[in-house]
Structure 1
């Protein structure tokens, strides 16, 4: 199966990633509030040692650091990771970050209380082998009883309806409105799809069009649940946007204690 490079996608998107959000700082604060509540409910007030293993430019990691947690970030894209460090510093937060593949995390075993994998990052892994490798390494760096937090698109409906585009999102800049949308091209297997990610950016009296391409595996809730369970997690719970306030479905699970 031919696939586009996730690293190339995020390396290229990193300078413009914040333009996806109408107000990036407000989104950071809102997402951190929801994630912090989920962590607090399961592990207590903290502060907790948190790894955001798909931190991008810092949308979740910075918010959680500003909420008082001891956050470390990692991301496949070194350009996005470097921006996360700079954006955190600009907001008064310390955020150590590594450029790393979530299948091979460069951290000690049992180093974290929480591992976060947000923004539909897990579906960039396109095979059962790769998804399993990532979840096993997330489990390795979690302490016994530690909390896994994954957010993904609601793919069950998408697998049935095969949408071909997303609604446009609009953000305001000093130069005018930026429009972001996606075109989806489904593979013959009905599970994977390629994305063309468009951003229309105003320049003078015209538009600059930026297009990035990526490939995803549209994991159903059942598939994701089974992968997480098989990787050694228990207490697997799904939280819908209606119940959690987060913009995507959220899966939480606990690392099962290691065998003596």
Structure 2
């Protein structure tokens, strides 16, 4: 059976770049920030890296351009196919695989760094699923290898419990597209259902409305730090956007 998360990203894959005002510019900026974090902790590199939630390649392509040997995997076949096509169009080598982050199909100690970015880990709604994913990421890291997770700032979000996000505007061949989200919080105050809206210019001059739905677990820094440490990682550290240059808080840890 197809999972709801896979269905969400399969449906979004063709339009994912519209989340950003300029996708290529964002790819470059995100790679610069993540590359800086990795090299600051592991040394000059380059490194063998797995992006286990690669989507359409937003981080993986940029990191490959920065010189790393990057492999991408993702739950969504549509997203993986687009990542491969976008990489090839930019003359970037990016092997990709369809894989659930809870069942990574790679040998033990295959990578120097594992990346799980763009708030992907919080799609796992139970502690058991999160522990399974983190254990798999640890397994494919070499001793002393680096785990890199990026998530929303859920410490603030859990306190405020917002019900929507501000609109983001990007440009298409037909004109401007608008992206925003509506959030529906569960009674536990930790999880929420998300409706992802995109208003895209239609051929007749009107608007085409595209809606996709998924769910998240709003993990605080303490909750995620504890889960990472309990999964066999050490040196758990947080890097805030003001210092790292990445648009979300970044957690790093080493395979102990």
TM range (shorter): over 0.9
| Structure 2: distance between partners of 1:14 and 1:45 | 33
Q: TM-score, normalised on structure 1?
A: 0.96
| Structure 1: distance between partners of 2:215 and 2:227 | 19
Superposed displacement of residue 157, structure 1 = 1.2
**Counterpart residue number, 2:223:** 223
**Counterpart residue number, 2:249:** 249
Task: Count residues in correspondence.
Answer: 253
Unaligned runs of 5+ in 1: none
Task: Report the secondary structure of 2:59's partner residue.
Answer: helix
**Counterpart residue number, 2:180:** 181
What is the CA deviation profile of residues 54-91 of structure 1, one whole-angstrom value per residue up to 9, with x for unaligned ones? Answer: 00000000000011100000000011001101100000
Task: Report the secondary structure of 2:189's partner residue.
Answer: coil
What is the CA deviation profile of residues 79-117 of structure 1, one whole-angstrom value per residue up to 9, with x for unaligned ones? Answer: 100110110000010110110000010000000000000
**Counterpart residue number, 1:235:** 235
Superposed displacement of residue 143, structure 1 = 0.1
CA RMSD of aligned residues (A): 0.7
**Counterpart residue number, 2:73:** 74
| Structure 2: distance between partners of 1:42 and 1:220 | 24
Task: Report the secondary structure of 1:79's partner residue.
Answer: helix
Q: TM-score, normalised on structure 2?
A: 0.98
Give the 4+ runs in structure 1 shifted more than 3 A.
none
Task: Report the secondary structure of 2:64's partner residue.
Answer: helix
What is the CA deviation profile of residues 15-67 of structure 1, one whole-angstrom value per residue up to 9, with x for unaligned ones? Answer: 00001110000000000000100111011111100000000000000000011
Unaligned runs of 5+ in 2: none
| Structure 1: distance between partners of 2:92 and 2:65 | 6
**Counterpart residue number, 1:54:** 53
**Counterpart residue number, 2:9:** 10
